[in-house]
Amino acid sequence: MEKICKRCVSNHSISSLKLDVNGICQFCKIHDEMEAEYPLNENSFKELLKISDQIKGEGKGKKFDCVVGVSGGKDSSYLLCTGLFEEPSE
């Protein structure tokens, strides 16, 4: 029987995939933990800026403010832009 997550449909093509007794993978569980710790709501952007400002402050006077891993995907690109620019206008 093929392993497929009932929630995100990840399958055996991910060699490290592990399903719990309910058929939910470890990646969905990690997502749930992160969502609980850092919920997306009306304060999310302000919290992200606060973390960014803290990192920048700790880097003041040093050769680099911080290191940002960027994959080129939309999430890491957004993170990079929020660290460099003001709140995006919608």
Residue pLDDT, tens place only, 4-51: 999 999 998 999 999 999 999 999 999 999 999 888 899 888 988 898
What integer pLDDT is reported at residue 33 of this predicted model? Answer: 95
Q: Angle of helix 44-59 relative to helix 74-84, nearest 10 degrees?
A: 60
**87 — pLDDT class (breaks 50, 70, 90):** low
More confident position, 19 or 85: 19
> Could you tell me which residues are beta bridge partners of residue 11?
4
Contact 33, 39 (CB under 8 A): no
The pTM for the full model equals: 0.54
